């Protein structure tokens, strides 16, 4: 049993390493990450905001990244405008009850967004109905859409301006890739908007 446990642990770590290595060698994917950084910096520089959403573990990812923007990432600096659309239980249950689960995020985007905002969408399958509906609303209202998904891409690629597709068929590994690249984006946005030498001199 002990050997079986260690074998499983080693196997999962090796799969994670392989996923990260595939990300590192994927020029198209890394270019999309760079573009996401530029777009987010531009939006925040224009006093716009980043809205994030996902389901389940991806909801946790949305909240995690919003927290990194609003509070801090690597060093102290002013907060950045980011909001997870997954946190207000009264809003979520009201929309779910009155309009259905598929409207959970699109209704919030309609209520709080302005043109020039960014919708950062998470769906490991690329098919989540409430995320697709939110993307549709975001595009109609003049938002840019960043989509974090898995290797199969989006069921509606026409709704995504910048697609981050983690090269793995396994949901946990896709989520690990999302966290890795989400952290990288946070770190680069922080550096570009609030240079370390000004806010965290050595």
CA dist list (Å): 107 to 91, 102, 130, 136, 202: 10, 9, 10, 11, 45
- Paired tokens of 87: 């946190």
55 labeled binding residue: yes
Closest Cα to residue 34, out of 164, 142, 147, 179? 164
56 labeled binding residue: yes
125 labeled binding residue: yes
74 labeled binding residue: no
124 labeled binding residue: yes
9-23: per-residue pLDDT in tens? 999 999 999 999 999
Domain layout of the chain by residue ranges: 28-193
97 labeled binding residue: yes
What kind of architecture, by CATH, is found in domain 28-193? Answer: 3-Layer(aba) Sandwich (3.40)
118-153: per-residue pLDDT in tens? 999 999 999 999 999 999 999 999 999 999 999 999
Q: What is the pTM of this model?
A: 0.95
pLDDT value of position 200: 80
Question: What would the mean pLDDT of 67-82 be, rounded to a whole number?
Answer: 97
98 labeled binding residue: yes
130 labeled binding residue: no
Quote the CA–CA distance of 92 and 88 in Å, as a whole number.
Answer: 6
151 labeled binding residue: no
Closest Cα to residue 138, out of 111, 165, 164? 111
128 labeled binding residue: yes
């Amino acid at each position: 049993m002990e050997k079986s446990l260690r074998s499983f642990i080693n196997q999962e770590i090796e799969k994670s390493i392989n996923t990260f290595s595939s990300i590192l060698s994927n020029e198209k994917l890394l270019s999309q990450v760079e573009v996401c950084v530029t777009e987010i910096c531009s939006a925040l520089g224009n006093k716009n905001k980043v809205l994030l959403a996902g389901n389940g573990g991806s909801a946790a990812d949305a909240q995690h990244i919003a927290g990194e923007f609003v509070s801090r990432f690597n060093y102290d600096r002013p907060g950045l405008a980011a909001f997870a659309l997954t946190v207000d239980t009264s809003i979520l249950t009201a929309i779910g009850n009155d309009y259905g689960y598929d409207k959970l995020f699109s209704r919030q985007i309609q209520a709080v967004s302005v043109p020039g905002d960014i919708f950062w969408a998470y769906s490991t399958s690329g098919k989540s109905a409430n995320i697709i509906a939110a993307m549709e609303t975001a595009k109609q209202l003049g938002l840019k859409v960043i989509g974090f998904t898995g290797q199969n891409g989006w069921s509606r690629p026409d709704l995504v301006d910048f697609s981050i597709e983690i090269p793995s068929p396994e949901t946990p590994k896709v989520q690990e890739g999302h966290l890795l690249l989400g952290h990288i984006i946070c770190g680069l946005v922080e550096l570009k908007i609030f240079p370390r030498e000004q806010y965290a001199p050595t």
